[in-house]
């Protein structure tokens, strides 16, 4: 090949970030370099194009490698580029290129940088320009890392949202439609189930519409720090960066760490036989960290449970917590059995999943489905990727549609909030009058299995604060219930349809009384007369004085107070000196009025104003008394109005 004749290999490259910059498009580079070659009289052998590839060290550039091969074969003797940074931005790479050109009697010509490598000065200029270019890319990288770190700390995770999360305004937040299955995976694994067992279960149930769950998928979920609120950037690099508490966690850090410990065991052969009642519920009185669980098995086979803070070296027995927790447990158990299981099994679903929230989520999923479809049409997805994404979204949409149907069905239920109040009143009377029969017919806390106790606490308790009451003694502090229980309970209580138990002084005795909020007298009358279908309950009025916080009752020694409630809506009153209270009671020696006592424990009373019985003179007399009281109540109601 004639040395005086320059045979050019035009090399053009554009990275992803260059594509939007004016003058760096591939057609623009080619146009300008063709013009330069024509001006200098170079023969153009070939155009070598690398699209969407950065000039960083280590990046494979197929077209540039092809150009080097053609130089070795003496088909090309001059590399023509627009700028030196199109070729490389690394000093080390530049040295390799310069050595390669010298070994093959080839040259480099840059249109914008006026570089000529045929002499020592030209090679020095090329090296200096490369140094400046490398410095710029390193500074840009540093600025990018700083900006990325700030974004990650704000919850903007630069990755596709994993199962259980979704992106909202660029931030990663828990996805209400999928997060429960992630929690379930961690719980199943913590209990000793292997990856294979969990994946088989999920395939059987077609969770998220998928039947291709495998060991690896479960392992990735268990190992992913994002589920405890942390994020690791650059996991595959030598220097990954760990960010703590950057997103809302789906599981506690303690449960996540316990699962990592579980990984060290043989999950296929190990099954956890210990069940903690307050797992992930107790907070350390010193540092506020969630306590971990520990247990010891004695020679007699008994297991003793403890909860510990590894940082503060605090340990507390589970039995000590459970003793103090009994008061709360009874309330939870009653709520669970009466409200969720007997009367309104769907009220919690309705309150936890408001229809408008579900409809909004459904619209988002439909929009996501449309985006996936368009991405597939545009070639961004393969058919396999499209089918997987489509299956997940369709499963989520189906789940949301079922929840919306449940909300619609709630409106068709015949039961009302008043039924809850009547049923709980009746159960309370049953407990007073027939305590043994009540226990036989009611599934009480003491009858629960350990697994059922743990499940109830898991479902309704958010967390429990512990506190010191002496130098080294710890007791129960505040108990925080989940919104799924608090919200419906508080709404029912505020509306007057749920009673709460509180301490009061009755005479010289501290006792517990049931209180409920204001209801119109018509509603109260309906409740009283409904209860009188089963028991001869009485009604009278009392006065509560705000200054000395005293309620005045008459003849309370011979009466069992069922419930106390205000006769006026004091929340709408400007100033309160005293308040009239309604009191429902039953005599100490009263018995039920129906022949079949079993109905007391498994019936849901129907409301009635005054049901007429024509059985005997005693019943007629009762009817007249009820009618008289009813008229008096109505008259008082009219006077107040």
Which residues are known to be catalytic? 15
Nearest to 545 by CA among 504, 567, 578, 507: 578
Q: What is the 3-state secondary structure (H, E, C) of 486-539?
A: HHHHHHHHHCCCCCEEEEEEECCEEEEEEECCCCCHHHHHHHHHHHCCCECCEE
Angle at 442 between CA 439 and CA 447, to 5 degrees: 80
Q: Are 184 and 193 in contact (CB under 8 A)?
A: no
Cβ(88)–Cβ(55) below 8 Å: yes
Number of helices (H), then strands (E), belonging to the chain: the values are: 20, 21
CB 464 within 8 A of CB 283: yes
Radius of gyration of the chain (CA): 38
Could you give the CA distance from residue 511 to residue 160 in angstroms, rounded to a whole number?
58
Report the DSSP pairing between strands 461-468 and 282-283. parallel
CB-based contact 597:437 (threshold 8 Å): yes
Query: What is the rounded distance in angstroms from the CA atom of residue 212 to the CA atom of residue 395?
Result: 14
For residue 42, the 8-state DSSP code is P
Q: How far apart are the first and last CA of the chain?
A: 113
Distance separating alpha carbons of residues 51 and 323, to the nearest angstrom: 70
254: which residues sit within 8 A by CB, 6+ positions away? 280, 289, 290, 291, 292
The two structure tokens encoding residue 495:
């509306």
- Residue 585 CB burial class (10 angstroms; 0-12, 13-18, ≥19): buried
Burial of 485 (0-12, 13-18, 19+ CB in 10 A): buried
Are 230 and 245 in contact by the 8 Å Cβ rule? The answer is yes
């Amino acid at each position: 090949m004639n040395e005086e004749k320059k045979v050019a290999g035009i090399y053009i490259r554009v990275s992803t970030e260059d594509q939007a910059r004016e003058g760096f498009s591939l057609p623009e580079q080619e146009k300008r370099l063709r013009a330069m070659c024509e001006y200098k009289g170079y023969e153009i052998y070939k155009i070598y194009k690398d699209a969407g590839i950065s000039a960083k060290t280590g990046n494979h550039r197929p077209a540039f490698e092809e150009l080097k091969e053609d130089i070795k074969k003496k088909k090309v003797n001059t590399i023509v580029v627009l700028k030196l940074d199109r070729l490389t931005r690394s000093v080390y790479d530049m040295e390799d290129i310069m050595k390669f050109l010298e070994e093959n009697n080839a040259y480099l010509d840059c249109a914008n940088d006026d570089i000529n490598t045929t002499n020592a000065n030209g090679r020095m200029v090329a090296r200096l320009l490369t140094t400046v270019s490398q410095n710029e890319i390193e500074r840009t990288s540093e600025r990018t890392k700083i900006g990325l770190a700030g974004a990650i700390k704000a919850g903007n995770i630069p990755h596709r949202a994993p199962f259980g999360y979704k992106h909202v305004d660029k931030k990663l937040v828990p996805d209400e439609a999928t997060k429960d299955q992630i929690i379930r995976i961690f719980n199943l694994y913590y209990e000793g189930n292997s990856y294979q067992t969990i994946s088989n279960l999920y395939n059987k149930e077609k969770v998220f519409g998928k039947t291709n769950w495998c060991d690896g998928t479960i392992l990735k979920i268990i190992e992913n720090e994002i589920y405890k609120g942390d994020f690791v950037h650059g996991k595959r690099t030598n220097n990954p960066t760990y960010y703590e508490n950057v997103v809302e966690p789906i599981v506690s850090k303690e449960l996540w760490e316990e699962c990592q410990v579980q990984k060290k065991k043989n999950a296929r052969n190990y099954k956890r036989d210990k069940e903690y009642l307050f797992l992930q519920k107790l907070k350390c009185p010193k540092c506020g960290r969630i306590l971990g669980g520990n247990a010891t098995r004695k020679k007699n086979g008994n297991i003793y449970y403890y909860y510990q803070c590894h940082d503060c070296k605090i340990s507390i027995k589970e039995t000590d917590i459970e003793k103090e927790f009994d008061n709360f447990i009874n309330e939870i158990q009653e709520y669970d059995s009466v409200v969720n299981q007997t009367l309104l099994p769907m009220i919690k679903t309705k309150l936890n999943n408001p229809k408008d929230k579900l409809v909004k989520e459904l619209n988002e999923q439909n929009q996501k489905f449309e985006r996936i479809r368009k991405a597939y049409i545009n070639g961004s997805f393969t058919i396999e990727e499209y089918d997987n994404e489509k299956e997940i979204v369709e499963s989520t949409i189906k789940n949301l549609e079922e929840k919306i149907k449940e909300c619609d069905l709630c409106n068709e239920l015949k039961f009302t909030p008043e039924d809850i109040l009547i049923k709980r009143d009746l159960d309370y009377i049953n407990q007073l009058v027939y305590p043994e029969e009540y226990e036989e017919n009611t599934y009480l806390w003491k009858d629960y299995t350990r697994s059922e106790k743990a499940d109830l606490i898991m479902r309704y308790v958010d967390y429990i604060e512990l506190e010191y009451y002496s130098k080294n003694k710890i007791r129960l502090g505040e108990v925080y219930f989940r919104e799924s229980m608090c919200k419906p309970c508080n709404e029912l209580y505020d509306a007057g349809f749920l009673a709460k138990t509180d301490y009061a002084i009755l005479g010289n005795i501290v006792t517990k009384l049931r209180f409920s909020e204001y209801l119109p007298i018509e509603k109260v009358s309906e409740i009283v007369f409904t209860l009188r279908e089963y028991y001869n309950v009485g009604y009278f009025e009392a006065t509560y004085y705000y200054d000395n916080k005293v309620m005045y009752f008459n003849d309370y020694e011979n009466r069992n107070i069922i419930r106390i409630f205000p006769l006026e809506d004091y929340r709408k009153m400007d100033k309160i000196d005293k308040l009239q209270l309604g009191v429902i009671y039953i005599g100490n020696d009263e018995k039920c009025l129906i022949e079949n006592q079993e109905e007391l424990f498994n019936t849901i009373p129907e409301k009635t104003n005054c049901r007429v019985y024509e059985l005997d003179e005693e019943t007629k007399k009762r009817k007249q008394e009820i009618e008289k009281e009813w008229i008096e109540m109505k008259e008082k109601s009219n006077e107040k109005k």
